[in-house]
Structure 1
């Protein structure tokens, strides 16, 4: 029973704090501040987790994890490189491609695009591109004709529709490797894909066989080989290892060069928001110091009586640690509940706000997604709640220690 006495007294002091309206208000403010900080931090971490998930599953599902590009001449025997890749357990699949860059005319000027010639049979092993376009558009890429599939953003910028004709201009280097004129290539828009982000405005897809005939590359050859790996963060090393194993001079590329800035931006925002909101929780927790300092002064006579009755100084300290800890526990519990509720419904809530107020939170032609994602992870909730509880308990140490320094005789004499 002796061990429970400080906790019982601390609980009674906590419930009786409403007798002093000012102390009660500060106590409420500290609890509300902790709850708000915990809820927002859980929400922000869940949003950052959602962006990471979409980056890996959506964008990196289409963007090459790694690429081996020809330099002086096409890859006439890309199959041998693919066979070498099969011996590397970290590589999931490979696919050849032919790439060409050019300009297309749009209202008010020109738009640069990158034309990718692909073979759907191989591409579906390394890419989720087929998930973002109709089946008819995907099947059209298997035909060795001038079908082209554009991103939704590019299609809208050009003012075209499916079935229209598109002209693409490329430099003519046929005369002694000197630029003499621009060559025009005509394509039929066979479909459109909806992925979001910059890729929609810059990437287009055609049949690899047809693009080989346009560039006068022997059929069966490629200008590059893309690889997909089981761990995207190992892509630079794996691409380098595969490239160094080849005798042909190759240019090596990986997703961290083209899209790595997105991942770095997500990590930077996560770190900054974590620090800012951790400071918000810390400020709210240190309001507990004010609450307990005033509570100690308000209960000084009661503390003196308890000490004259034989209550140990450690027990007195435990009383006020209990009282302040309850503020932190209540704030963390409420904040965690609100944060989990908001995080699990973040996408639906954001969509409701967009429809209600007629605004767009994420523009698809700027960001790689056009919706607000969320992925709640248990370890984030545990980390945030633990941090809030530790901060709140740490804030109780000084006022609880000062309570043990009360001189019973002086406190009772003043009463």
Structure 2
């Protein structure tokens, strides 16, 4: 009963702050600071979640989780590796590939290009690249004897190429290399049969061709450059790929996504942690504005506190009055911040596109980042964590002023009234 009375008085004191304009302004500033901090922290965490999701679903959906590549020679019995991979729990699928490295000419010079020869029947099990191109483009890679090539949209735009046009790829002369001779690069012509649009660096540096044609170009016969592996848990990839590689009779290079793309995941986690700490400190500063508000409120309510103590109210109840008054500031700021943060996070990609169109700029460049748009993935647990953190800090900020209020001497306070 006494707690309810203290909470009711705290609510009345919270409403009565309107009578003092300066206290009202400081109270508004603390509430606005908490709301802004909560909003920004929710939005930043949602953006980091979005980057992580795109890394896993988009980039790691196309880039293999792991690879086994022949050492100084192709892999002859790749089917045996595929069979071994299917026997290891945690490995979802395996698919052969042929990798070619070459140069393509564009305005201003040459650009390096990685060309992957794939078998669409097996590749669909280890990669999501099919989702980023039309069905016609995908089926063109199934015509194994043709010189079809599917380019990324960024590269096609850079080279000013369209479907049906011809691309020349300059590669070292395989026959000369096998004889230990140095020879000029040989040009290989391909017909652009499709365009894929993944976004980011892969659009500019990767292309796909039928695997049999790639093997024929490199004189590999029925052998392949390596085997791509897909696992059900990307974080278990290093262990699973290592176990598969160590079980092979032929010497192979063992590679997994943590060596090629792991820095992106580490960067995302680092930015998430740093931003969380920085914005948590911003919220803490805003919360401690509540201290100023309550200190002035305690001085303003000295006589009321003295009367309550004289009437027999316990010091703990007096503390609760001002804890409740300050907690309302924090609660209001958390509520406003949560609503704004959730609203912005749900529409962050659209908002970013609107800013880009209005200002005529590109926030994320495909030449620098692995995606060219601002992703967002709202996580309810993040919202709850941020709101609880902000509210707890706001309550902690009320303790000292509330304690000072409970130490008020009624006689002295009433004498100075």
CA contact (8 A) 1:42 1:381 kept: yes
1:319 is matched with which residue?
321
2:410 maps to which residue?
Answer: 408
Tell me which residue corresponds to 1:354: 356
The DSSP-based 3-state class of the residue aligned with 1:205 is strand
- Aligned-residue CA RMSD (Å): 1.2
The corresponding residue for 1:155 is 156
Q: Is the 8 A contact 1:153 1:365 kept in 2?
A: no
The answer to whether the Cα contact below 8 Å between 1:347 and 1:372 also exists between their aligned partners in 2 is yes
1:188: Cα distance to partner?
1.1
- 2:99 aligned partner: 99
- Give secondary structure in 2 for the equivalent of 1:195: coil
**Residue aligning to 1:338:** 340
Shift of 1:173: 5.0
Q: Contact between 1:195 and 1:368, CA under 8 Å: does it hold in 2?
A: no
Q: How does 1:227-238 map to 2 (within 5 A)?
A: 227-238=229-240
CA distance in structure 2 between the aligned counterparts of 1:367 and 1:101, rounded to whole angstroms = 22
Among 198, 203, 206, the residue aligned to 1:203: 206
* Aligned pairs (5 A) from 1:121-200: 121-143=121-143, 144-172=145-173, 174-175=175-176, 176-200=179-203
Q: Within 2, Cα distance between the matches of 1:65 and 1:322?
A: 53
Alpha-carbon displacement from aligned partner over 1:330-361 (angstroms, at most 9, x marks no partner): 11011111111111111222222333333322
For residues 223 and 8 of structure 1, what CA distance do their matches in structure 2 show? 75
303-312 or 160-169: bigger deviation: 160-169
Identify the residue that residue 294 of structure 1 maps to in structure 2.
296
TM-score by length of 2: 0.97
Equivalent-residue separation in structure 1 for 2:165 and 2:410 (angstroms) = 92
Preserved CA contact (<8 Å) 2:298 2:405: yes
Pairwise mapping of residues 373-392 of structure 1 onto structure 2 (< 5 A)? 373-392=375-394
Query: For the Cα contact (< 8 Å) 1:197–1:369, is it kept in 2?
Result: yes
Greater displacement, 20-29 / 141-150: 141-150
User: Which residues of structure 2 form unaligned runs of 5+?
Assistant: none
- CA-to-partner distance for each residue in 1:379-408, whole Å, 9 max, x for gaps? 001000000011000000111111111111
Q: Contact between 1:196 and 1:365, CA under 8 Å: does it hold in 2?
A: no
Paired residues of 2:148 and 2:193 also in contact (CA < 8 A): yes
Higher deviation after alignment, 40-49 or 171-180? 171-180
8 Å contact 2:174–2:218 — kept in the other structure?
no
Query: How far apart are residue 47 of structure 1 and its match?
Result: 1.1
Cα deviations across residues 66-99 of structure 1 (Å, max 9, x unaligned)?
0000113211111111111111120111100011
TM-score by length of structure 1 reads 0.97
Q: Give secondary structure in 2 for the equivalent of 1:163.
A: coil
Aligned residues: 414
Counterparts of 1:2 and 1:255, CA distance in 2: 61
Q: What is the aligned partner in structure 1 of residue 374 from structure 2?
A: 372
User: Offset of 1:370 from its aligned partner?
Assistant: 2.3
Distance of 1:269 and 1:328 partners within structure 2: 27
- Superimposed CA distance per residue, residues 137-156 of structure 1 (whole angstroms, 9 cap, x where no aligned partner): 11111112111111111112
Partner residue of 1:56? 56
Distance (Å, rounded) in 2 between the aligned partners of 1:194 and 1:291: 55
Give the secondary-structure state (helix, strand or coil) at the position aligned to 1:174. helix
What is the alpha-carbon distance in structure 1 between the residues aligned to residue 102 and residue 164 of structure 2? Answer: 21
Q: Per-residue displacement from partner, 1:306-340 (whole Å, max 9, x unpaired)?
A: 11111111111111111111110111011111111
Residues 236-251 of structure 1 aligned to structure 2 (within 5 Å): 236-251=238-253
Equivalent residue for 2:283, pick from 277, 281, 284: 281
Determine the C-alpha separation between the residues in 2 that align with 1:24 and 1:126: 61
